[in-house]
């Protein structure tokens, strides 16, 4: 079955959450309706050179485009049509479908663009060179407008249609990009990757928040479409399961970076982490065999990072361990997409600066063993914590690291050592160090770090939109 849906691209900011300039505040300098400079340039060029798109220009002037931060955009301006004339109202739904961030001069057959509305624009080029976007003919070549470009189209571009298979393809593309950008942010915060300094923390925080909630928007739109508008009844659908699981990981990472989040599930947005945990429990009840372990592992992360819920995290991890589906393996866990050491099978790792092998895996079995050891240690279950630690150390060819007389702090040090040896550069350090209370020890004196930087600043636009959020200490 095909569904008409909205695609929220990871690079596309949601106007409800993210509309801001580089400093996180609405742009006070815009012209008509506080329009960004790139949009004003496009309007100026259309008015001078394409008078037959006058009605489109009027709509563009009235649209809320405050979230456009790119200096380069591509605009598909509509020739004056009865439909365009009748829709002269502030920010009609389709106007954002006609704008794409980036300068896309030279459209090619099969090219897929993501508009500001989050919808996919599919480019087709016929044998005689005729170009169309979602079936609408493009008239002529691109018209330069500063760093941007303009195409003239004969009609309003319709919403795209997509099959269930394409929905999965779209989600995986968006989710893989999210994982890459999460790993990149973690490397910047933990190791100063790519020249990062904490003087830039507000910029990277705003960018990450926007990207993460763009990913959530994509998932929610896909789930709604694949569920025929009834997402609560879709837990048994394998495609929806993977999307829901991915969104849960996104929420978990947001909590890890900010210590708080906006839950965009059913009903009004809120920040109750228990609603996310209830969602994960529902997913666990319906999860296919391939996803059950991953759902429990994400639940354990949330319990540890958000609530210090050691008992619940311990139970989730032990259920994974006792399932018998996973094991520490002598094979290189990053060499294959699936192996016993992987709980959530990953994807090809193409970033040479971050890759630990051919594949990246969102959740690995060794992390679960260490979370189980951490939870057991905090609960005073020393023998069990020792067993989990030693299972790893012996597998690594080392003597047992913990003994029956090891103290809680000594076992914690064993966990930290194994974590730094084996889970480094897998997007976990920043949130895990904060959970352990050692961020200052790890980062003091590096990259202009200050103690308040153990959490990221919440973007000002999000604070204004959601009064239940609070700015993290030190950023007021």
DSSP assignments along 261-298, one per residue:
--B-SSSS-B--HHHHHHHHHHHHHH--HHHHHHHHHH
pLDDT of residue 286: 84
- pLDDT of 22: 41
Please, which contacts does 305-308 make with residues 24 or more away whose CB atoms are closer than 8 Å?
305/252, 305/255, 305/256, 305/431, 305/435, 306/255, 306/259, 306/273, 307/273, 308/378
120-125 and 112-114 as β-strands: parallel, antiparallel, unpaired?
antiparallel
Q: Contact 4/160 with Cβ under 8 angstroms?
A: yes
Output the pLDDT for position 24: 40
pLDDT reported for residue 151:
97
- b/e code 175-194 from CB counts within 10 Å (16+ = b): bbbbbbbbbbbbbbbbbbbe
* Predicted local confidence at residue 345, as pLDDT: 87
pLDDT tens-digit readout, 215-252: 888 888 788 778 765 555 567 778 888 999 999 999 99
What pLDDT is stored for residue 20 in this prediction? 40
* C-alpha span between 206 and 214 (Å, rounded): 12
The CA-based dihedral angle spanning residues 145, 149, 155, 159, taken in that order and rounded to the nearest 10 degrees: -130
Report pLDDT for 320: 96
Tens digits of residue pLDDT in 22-59: 444 334 333 344 688 999 999 999 999 999 999 999 98
pLDDT, position 410: 97
Q: Which two tokens stand for residue 421?
A: 């040896």
Q: What pLDDT is recorded for position 290?
A: 73
Per-residue pLDDT at 29:
39
Burial of 165 (0-12, 13-18, 19+ CB in 10 A): exposed
Q: If we measure between CA atoms, which residue out of 41, 15, 153, 166 comes closest to residue 93?
A: 15
Q: What's residue 82's pLDDT?
A: 58
pLDDT value for 229: 53
SS3 3: strand
Q: Is 327 in contact with 341 (CB distance < 8 Å)?
A: yes
Straight-line distance from the first to the last Cα atom of the chain, in angstroms, rounded to the nearest whole number? 50
Residues of the chain short of pLDDT 50, as ranges, are 1-33, 88-91
Q: How far, in Å, CA of 308 to CA of 24, rounded? A: 31
Pairing of strands 342-344, 347-348: unpaired
Taking each helix axis from N to C end, the angle separating 289-302 and 365-378, rounded to the nearest 10 degrees, works out to 40
- State the pLDDT at residue 220: 85
Closest among 416, 363, 419, 431 to 186, alpha carbons compared: 431
Write down the residue that tokens 């050491």 correspond to.
Answer: 341
């Amino acid at each position: 079955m095909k569904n008409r849906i909205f695609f929220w691209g990871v690079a596309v900011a949601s106007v409800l959450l993210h509309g801001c300039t580089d400093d996180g505040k609405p742009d006070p300098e815009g012209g008509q309706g506080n329009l960004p400079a790139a949009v004003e340039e496009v309007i100026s060029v259309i008015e001078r050179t394409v008078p037959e798109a006058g009605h489109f220009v009027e709509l563009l002037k009235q649209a809320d485009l405050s979230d456009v931060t790119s200096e380069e955009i591509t605009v598909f301006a509509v020739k004056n049509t009865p439909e365009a004339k009748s829709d002269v109202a502030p920010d009609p739904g389709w106007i954002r479908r006609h704008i794409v961030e980036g300068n896309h001069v030279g459209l090619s057959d099969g090219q897929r663009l993501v508009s500001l509305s989050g919808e996919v624009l599919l480019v087709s080029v016929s044998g005689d060179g005729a170009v169309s976007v979602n079936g609408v003919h493009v008239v002529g070549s691109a018209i330069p407008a500063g760093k941007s470009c303009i195409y003239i189209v004969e009609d309003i571009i319709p919403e795209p249609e997509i099959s269930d298979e394409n929905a999965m393809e779209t989600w995986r593309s968006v989710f893989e990009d999210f994982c890459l950008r999460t790993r990149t942010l973690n490397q910047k915060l933990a190791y100063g990757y790519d020249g990062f300094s904490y003087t830039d923390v507000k910029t990277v925080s705003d960018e990450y928040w926007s990207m993460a909630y763009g990913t959530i928007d994509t998932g929610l739109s896909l789930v709604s479409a694949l569920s025929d508008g009834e997402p609560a009844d879709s837990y048994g659908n394998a495609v929806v399961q993977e999307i829901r699981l991915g969104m849960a990981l996104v929420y978990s990472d947001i909590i890890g970076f900010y210590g708080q989040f906006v839950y965009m599930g059913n009903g009004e947005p809120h920040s109750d982490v228990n609603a996310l945990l209830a969602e994960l429990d529902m997913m666990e009840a319906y999860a296919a065999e391939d996803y059950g372990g991953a759902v429990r592992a994400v639940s354990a992360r949330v319990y540890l990072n958000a609530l210090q819920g050691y008992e619940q995290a311990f139970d989730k991890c032990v259920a994974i361990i006792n399932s018998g589906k996973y094991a520490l393996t002598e094979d290189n866990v990053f060499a294959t997409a699936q192996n016993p050491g992987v709980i959530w099978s990953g994807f090809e790792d193409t970033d040479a600066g971050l890759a630990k092998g051919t594949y990246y895996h969102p959740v690995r079995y060794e992390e679960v063993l260490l979370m189980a050891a951490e939870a057991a240690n905090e609960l005073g279950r020393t023998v069990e914590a020792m067993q989990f630690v030693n299972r790893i150390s012996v597998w690594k060819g080392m003597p047992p690291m913990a003994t029956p007389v090891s103290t809680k702090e000594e076992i914690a040090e064993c966990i930290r050592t194994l974590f730094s040896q084996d889970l480094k550069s897998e997007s976990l350090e920043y949130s895990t160090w904060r959970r352990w209370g050692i961020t200052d020890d790890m980062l003091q004196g590096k990259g202009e770090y200050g103690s308040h930087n153990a959490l990221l600043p919440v973007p000002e636009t999000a604070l204004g939109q959601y009064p239940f959020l609070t700015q993290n200490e030190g950023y007021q």
